[in-house]
Amino acid sequence: MSSPLPDEPDVHLIVRMRGYQLHYAACLTAALVFVQDEGIRHCTDAVSVASGATDRLPRLPCEQLYVER
């Protein structure tokens, strides 16, 4: 699966939920919208965005939906 916005850099999105850490790659826009939405919904314990290699991470599920708003 490729980025919905290939001209943007990918970031490492870390989602903490119920003691688990989920690691995803996401384009910058999708990651920022995801962080904003989670801040409103409070479905997760924490979300952070990190720099670094993302080529071995799975893409954020439904990433396209976060850039189509």
Q: What is the mean pLDDT of residues 12-24?
A: 94
Q: How confident is the model at residue 52 (pLDDT cuts 50, 70, 90)?
A: confident
Position 1 in a domain: no
Position 48 in a domain: yes
Q: How confident is the model at residue 43 (pLDDT cuts 50, 70, 90)?
A: confident
Q: What is the mean pLDDT of residues 25-40?
A: 90
Mean pLDDT of the chain: 90
Position 5 in a domain: no
pLDDT of 69 above 70:
no
Q: How many domains does the chain have?
A: 1
Position 14 in a domain: yes
CB burial string 26-65: b at 16+ within 10 A, e below:
bbebbbbbbbeebeeeeebeebeeeeeebeebebbeebee
How far apart are the two ends of the chain, measured CA to CA in Å? 20
Model confidence, pTM: 0.87
